[in-house]
Structure formats: structure tokens, C-alpha cells
């Protein structure tokens, strides 16, 4: 296990994070406490120190399990949790980005996690209502109080994150150290705005959905190679084609399909400071996923996966990269200018 710097916080975090949405059984699936202990022990034994949860995961059971499992080793773990999602669906103030929900959720999380501070607090997702300057001001108050050490923004448009970063830098408040978003071979939308923004602003990027709910591993492909319907994870033609390529690549590399998907994401660090979130329901699954850290995909394989999964960046990225537009801006001097 190697380590990366979590943006402006300067926290040293393991190159992959342990996602704990599967810790707990209140949603009708997931891991009981003993299995969660095996997963956490395995992750820590491999050198992992970055654990990601949320106030609503398995209706709070994820935080409760972590509170018990981290007794005696809390200080070695960079512990992240999230606020935003509602805890009482019939209460309009029990969810959202506003200060009341923030304070209530953080106090609840601290009790469940059996800790006096949260190392990284995420705004879980943008509610579209609360002014972002109010959000980061309230989060800065928690940093000043010592209840939160660093802040991050998850599942939010790039313009909102950029505004938050500019406001906090201008006013001397705690700056967002990281963003969190979905990213995988089948979901590369973040390359349009979010990844370039994170690199420019010095933010780390945590990614979820690396296996696209199992679709990319071929889990929902039948023996004849066609899609097998299974609720929201039913693959379309593009997903089925990518899943087939992942399986072919895995066979050629003597690896598991999940390892190929994770290794591809790890190879994208030329784009941004990426930290994949690995989630599993069993210690065996987690061990299989962690093996991706030792898988180096050959350049020709990476190129094949890149080409098959490529997206159109669209305006303004494609427009500004067009040769004619570059010539209009720089004339014949662009190649002579170092950047």
C-alpha cells in the first residue's frame, strides 16, 4: 500500500479507501459485524488507513459498527463520513445542506462512531437550495471547534465546488480538500469538468461505482454474451460490450474482471489525484479487489480499454482543443509556449 496527499488538508491517506456502505444489514443486505471486522482487519493489515462511511449508510448501522470496530485503533485511521441525506423523510429540516441538518447529523455521527472528531466531513450531495457560502461557513465553524479536521464535497456540480473553493480561500475558511464522484470505464463523465477542476484546485478525488454495480464484471451478462436483466443494473449494449472486453482482458492478464476495472482507474492518475473507494460484502471480495494494487495493465491493454470506453467531452473542451481554435488564439506559436 502506498499513500497519497488528501489535497490541502495534507492528510496522508492510503491509495485506496475502504467503503463501508456494506457494513450493516438494516437494508436487507450487507455484512454483519463479524464480517465487517474481517474486512476492516484485512484492509488495515494491508496498510489501509482511509475509511469512508456516511450518516445514512444502512440507516446508521455502518457508523455504529465502525464505532465498535475502531476502538483501540481510531488514531491510525483517517475517518470520513457524510451529512446531507434525510434521517426523517417527513421532516423538511432533517435533510439537506443547511446548518441545522449539518449540526444534528455531525453530533449523531460522533456518538455512533464513538469519537470526538471526524477527520474528513463530506457534504454528501448538492441540494440545490442552500447557498454554498452558508455551507462552507458552517463547516468551517466545525473545523474551528475541533469536531472536524478537513472538509470535502461529494456528488456536486463543478461550478458549485469551484465557487466553494474560491470563497473559502478568499475568506480564510477551511478549504475543500477533496471531491467524490462516480468514475469507471462505463462512466467517464467526470473527465469533462470535475477532474480538470480538481487538478487545478489541488483537490484529491475519491471515486465510487468503479464496477458500475457489478455490470462491468460481467455479472449481468448471460452465458450467450447478451444482457441479463436485473433491475437498475440491467446493462445496455454499450455496457455489455465493455463487460465483454473487461472479461477478455482479465483472462489475458490472468486476473479477475473486478481487478481489471480497478487497475484501469488506478492508471488514470495522470488525470487527477485519484483515490478509488473499494466496497465489498465479504472479506474474500475485498481481498480480491485489493489484489488490483499489484496489477499493472500493459500499455496496449490500457489503450484498448481507453478507446472502447472513450466519451465525447463536448463543449467547451472539444471546442477549445480544436486545431483551428488553437490557431485563432495563438497563431503559429502554441508549440513554442511552455505550460
Which residue in 169, 173, 174, 209 sits closest to 189, CA to CA?
209
Alpha helices by DSSP H, listed for the chain, are 33-45, 61-69, 99-113, 132-144, 158-171, 194-201, 237-253, 257-266, 283-290, 299-309, 317-321, 323-330
Inter-residue contact 8 to 260 (CB < 8 Å): no
Residue from 57, 83, 183, 220 carrying the catalytic annotation: 57
What count of other Cβ atoms lies within 10 Å of the Cβ of residue 100? 11
Which residues neighbour 122 within 8 Å (Cβ) at sequence distance 6 or greater?
54, 80, 81, 82, 83, 151, 152, 153, 154, 180
How many residues are listed for the chain in this entry? 339
What count of other Cβ atoms lies within 10 Å of the Cβ of residue 90? 6
What does 107-175 look like in DSSP terms, one character per residue? HHHHHHHT-S-EEEEEE-S--SSS-HHHHHHHHHHHHHTTSEEEEEEES--HHHHHHHHHHHHHHTPPP
Measured between alpha carbons, how far is 316 from 163 in angstroms, rounded to an integer?
Answer: 19
SS3 79: strand
Place of cell 475543500: 176
57 is catalytic: yes
CA separation (Å) from 116 to 97, 129, 270, 328?
22, 30, 36, 57
Please give the grid coordinates belonging to residue 293. Answer: 494494487
Which residues neighbour 133 within 8 Å (Cβ) at sequence distance 6 or greater?
163, 164, 167
Measured between alpha carbons, how far is 169 from 201 in angstroms, rounded to an integer?
Answer: 11
Place of cell 475519491: 206
Residue positions annotated with a catalytic role = 57
Amino acid at each position: 500500500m502506498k499513500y497519497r496527499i488528501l489535497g490541502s488538508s495534507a492528510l496522508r491517506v492510503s491509495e485506496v479507501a475502504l467503503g463501508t456502505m456494506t457494513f450493516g444489514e438494516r437494508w436487507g443486505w450487507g455484512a454483519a459485524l463479524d464480517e465487517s471486522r474481517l474486512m476492516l482487519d484485512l484492509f488495515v493489515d494491508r496498510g489501509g488507513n482511509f475509511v469512508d462511511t456516511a450518516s445514512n449508510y444502512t440507516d446508521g448501522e455502518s457508523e455504529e459498527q465502525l464505532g465498535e470496530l475502531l476502538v483501540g485503533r481510531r488514531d491510525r485511521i483517517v475517518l470520513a463520513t457524510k451529512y446531507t441525506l434525510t434521517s426523517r423523510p417527513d421532516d423538511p429540516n432533517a435533510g439537506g445542506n443547511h446548518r441545522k441538518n449539518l449540526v444534528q447529523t455531525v453530533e449523531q455521527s460522533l456518538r455512533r462512531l464513538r469519537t470526538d472528531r471526524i477527520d474528513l466531513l463530506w457534504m454528501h450531495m448538492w441540494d440545490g437550495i442552500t447557498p454554498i457560502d452558508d455551507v462552507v461557513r458552517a463547516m468551517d465553524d466545525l473545523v474551528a471547534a475541533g469536531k472536524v479536521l478537513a472538509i470535502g464535497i461529494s456528488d456536486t456540480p463543478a461550478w458549485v465546488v469551484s465557487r466553494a473553493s474560491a470563497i473559502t480561500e478568499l475568506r480564510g475558511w477551511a478549504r475543500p480538500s477533496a471531491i467524490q464522484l462516480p468514475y469507471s470505464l462505463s462512466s467517464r463523465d467526470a473527465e469533462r469538468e470535475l477532474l480538470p477542476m480538481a487538478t487545478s484546485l489541488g483537490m484529491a478525488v475519491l471515486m465510487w461505482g468503479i464496477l458500475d454495480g457489478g455490470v462491468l464484471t460481467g455479472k449481468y451478462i448471460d452465458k450467450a454474451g447478451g444482457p441479463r436483466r436485473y433491475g437498475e443494473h440491467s446493462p445496455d449494449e454499450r455496457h455489455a460490450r465493455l463487460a465483454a472486453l473487461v472479461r477478455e482482458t482479465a483472462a489475458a492478464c490472468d486476473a479477475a474482471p473486478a481487478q481489471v476495472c480497478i487497475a484501469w482507474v488506478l492508471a488514470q492518475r495522470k488525470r487527477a489525484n485519484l483515490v478509488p473507494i473499494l466496497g465489498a460484502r465479504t472479506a474474500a471480495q475485498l481481498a480480491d479487489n485489493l489484489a488490483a494494487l499489484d496489477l499493472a495493465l500493459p500499455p496496449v491493454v490500457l489503450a484498448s480499454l481507453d478507446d472502447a470506453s472513450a466519451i465525447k467531452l463536448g463543449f467547451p473542451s472539444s471546442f477549445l482543443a480544436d486545431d483551428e481554435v488553437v490557431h485563432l488564439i495563438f497563431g503559429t506559436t502554441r508549440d513554442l509556449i511552455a505550460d
